Chains A and B, each alone.
Chain A
Amino acid sequence: MHPPTNLAAELRLPTNWLDYTILGIYFVVVLGIGFAARRSVKTSLDFFLSGRSLPAWVTGLAFIAANLGATEILGMAANSAQYGVYTTHWYWIGAIPAMVFLGLVMMPFYYGSKVRSVPEFLLLRFDKAAHLLSSGLFACAAILIAGVNLYALAIVVEALLGWPQWVAIVVAGFFVLAYITLGGLSSAIYNEVLQFFVILAALIPITVLGLKSVGGWDGLSDSLTESRGADFMTSWGGTGIGSDNPLGANWLTIVLGLGFVLSFGYWTTNFAEVQRALSAKNLSAAQRTPLIAAFPKIFIVFLVMIPGLVAAVLVPKIGTAGSDLQYNDAIPYLMEQLLPNGVLGIAVTGLLAAFMAGMAANVSSFNTVFTTDIWAKYVVRGREDEYYVRFGRLITAIGVLASIGTAFLASSFSNIMSYLQTLFSFFNVPMFVVFIIGMFWKRASMKSGFWGLIAGTTAAMVNYFWIYKQGIIDIPSDQGANFVSAIAGFVAGAVVMVAVSLFTAPKPVEELQGLVYGTTSPGMAEPPAPGDEAWYRKPALLGWGAVVLAAACYIPFSF
């Protein structure tokens, strides 16, 4: 993929007053939610975790919307135009199993221990060194990723609407800053729920019209099979070990690298996601948060993959030197070609909403970790609660300003989506290995957490910068390299943790209650709320239902 800075100039959308009215209404509502949520913020728990009081459907939709940023939408459409139906792996094997695992297995420990963040769990399970390191890594990663979203927004808005980049960055930064500072996490989550529906309203018309323009699914399939080969329209075709495919990965690296390490790392330990579940009103609602999100996730792949495939039919040379259009232009191209004013305004609004969702999720998790994990534990301890709410608002503003800075940093990287995936393999994977071992192995010692994090991060970086970039081992694509980095980081972290544990003292058993699999803490024993006995609210049924459905979705694309 090429730098999206080269979004073709002819993609300027024919927007008119109607489209801008729709966009304007949206910005007014976004701010209104911030002002209306303001009166619900009384304690720091209200500001950072919505007082642990939201219903499951709200947190579940926010969970999926926090993931459905515009980098995801444009990036996965680009992926589809380049690699075809392989994109389904990022959804069915690369998301659903991890989301279900989070809900069914890990959530009782997260929610039941009453921690306010993912690093705080590491503080309880391991020690201050692991806590401070993971908080610091997370805070940096969150600001970098927020900056990536902001930068991507600026270049897309410049190409589509003709706004100068700095205008888009300042406008989006201002709105995100305003609504989070005012209403805290409640405001971020409510806006994410709203964004989820606006994004769907934008993607569905594009998908339907796109399919119609290439003669339906059959027309699409026939045309791409002819031009790109039969494997392009399958999930698993050509992924045998040793056989060649455009993704540069085989079934083993897909299952282990993407399906296990990268995906579990992202979904189960990335606080920008987990925070949504921790704000749910009880354990049952917290468990259902990722499970409710899993069902839309299974089907959203069609809304990003089909536009990418359609673009590959309409512009056969997309992404190559023979065309002005890059892979990232797939969705903007269809918007320009197919949507009349009105729906066009909805689509532009949906795209901006998606950028703001991706940024806000990171800013709202950054301010929580920075305030409760770094500031309140190591810098200014023991002040009254109001002080930490004020500090949280201040650090939100600083975080937004810092991400404007990192937005300009992101502009020096050529490919945004693989830059993001690389960041995930550096930061999330080591966190995941430390978590999974700490949660399932009582003997893992207090010191092992810190050294596991260091080893995992180092190994992933060494693999990426040295083994892959210097060409020590030949890996055909960035995505393939990310899968391998993830596996390397996981293995190195696990080996170091086991080795360190064997030589250092374990944590006393009474300090591990409710933190390690097989133990329970007082917080977990809460009785189910009235109505939670209903069959459709049973976490096990929802979770296994999602897994079976995702597996069934593979069937039509496997032969």
Chain B
Amino acid sequence: MSEFYSEKDVQREVTELQGKSATAARLFDIRRIIGGLFVIYGVIVTIAGLTASDADIDKAEGVNINLWTGLGMLALGLFFLVWLKLRPVAPPPPGDDERVE
């Protein structure tokens, strides 16, 4: 390393690594995981709301909080799954050939 560690060294090193990077091609889409987890949570909590005892409802200031939270989580999960369905990840654009080996 010379006296200055120059910007050109970093530019070259990072550009080279970015060319070999596999993240863009191989990393899964997080929307699937968020959607899946929230649908599962939504169903579990909604069922807890549908079968809520009076004690549960009294505790939560008279609100069936499990039902409402469950429905909200279910809606969020479905939103992510629908978004994924409607707008899947675009394949890397053809001009971006430095990412493709």
Contacts and interface: CB of A to CB of B under 8 A. Distances in A.
Interface in A379-394: 381, 385
A21 interface: yes
A58 interface: yes
A116 B40 CA distance: 37
Contacts of B5: 123-124, 128, 131, 377
B79 to A, nearest CB: 11
B23 A186 contact: yes
B15 A114 contact: yes
Given A51-B22, A208-B63, 16 more contacts: A25-B37, A39-B22, A39-B26, A40-B25, A42-B26, A46-B22, A50-B27, A115-B14, A124-B5, A193-B30, A205-B65, A212-B63, A338-B65, A342-B44, A346-B69, A381-B1
B34 interface: yes
Binding site secondary structure of chain B:
helix
A32 B48 CA distance: 26
A42 B21 contact: yes
23 contacts: A25-B41, A36-B28, A40-B26, A113-B10, A115-B10, A124-B5, A124-B7, A190-B33, A194-B30, A194-B33, A201-B69, A337-B59, A340-B55, A340-B56, A340-B59, A342-B44, A342-B69, A342-B70, A343-B69, A346-B45, A377-B1, A514-B7, A521-B11
A511 B33 CA distance: 45
A22 interface: yes
B37 A29 contact: yes
B78 interface: no
A197 interface: yes
Contact of A42 (B14, B20, B33): B20
A339 B60 contact: yes
Contacts of B100: none
Contacts of A54: 23
A421 interface: no
Contact of A342 (B6, B22, B49): B49
Q: Kindly list the 5 A-B residue pairs having the minimum CB-CB distance in the complex, ordered from nearest.
A: A51-B21, A51-B23, A342-B48, A340-B56, A42-B22
Contacts of A52: 14, 18, 21
Nearest to B42: A201
Q: Which of B5, B23, B73 has the most CB of A within 10 A?
A: B23
Contacts of B20: 42-43, 45, 385
Nearest to A349: B41
Interface residues of B, number: 49
Nearest to B59: A340
Contacts of B93: 529-530
A18 B44 contact: yes
Contacts of A124: 5-7, 10
B38 A37 contact: no
A168 B53 CA distance: 32
Nearest to B45: A342
A44 B22 contact: no
A256 interface: no
Contacts of B22: 39-43, 46, 51
Contacts of A46: 21-23
A58 B30 contact: yes
Interface residues of A, number: 67
A414 interface: no
Contacts of A123: 5
Nearest to B73: A201
Interface string A178-201: 000000001000100110010001
Nearest to A342: B48
A515 B7 contact: yes
B17 interface: yes
B44 A43 contact: no
Q: Which of A52, A197, A343 has the most CB of B within 10 A?
A: A343
A51 B37 CA distance: 26
Nearest to A187: B27
Q: Which of A32, A45, A194 has the most CB of B within 10 A?
A: A45
A392 B56 CA distance: 48
A42 B101 CA distance: 12
A338 B10 CA distance: 54
B48 to A, nearest CB: 3
A190 B48 CA distance: 28
Given A339-B65, A342-B48, A346-B41, A53 B7 contact: no
A21 B44 contact: yes
Contacts of B61: 209, 212-213, 338
Nearest to A52: B18
A205 B69 contact: yes
A33 B22 CA distance: 16
Contacts of B55: 340
Interface string A194-224: 1001000100110011001100000000000
A381 B13 CA distance: 13
A522 interface: yes
Nearest to B46: A342
A245 interface: no
Contacts of A341: 48, 56
A120 interface: yes
A511 B7 contact: yes
A411 interface: no
A36 B11 CA distance: 30
Contacts of B26: 39-40, 42
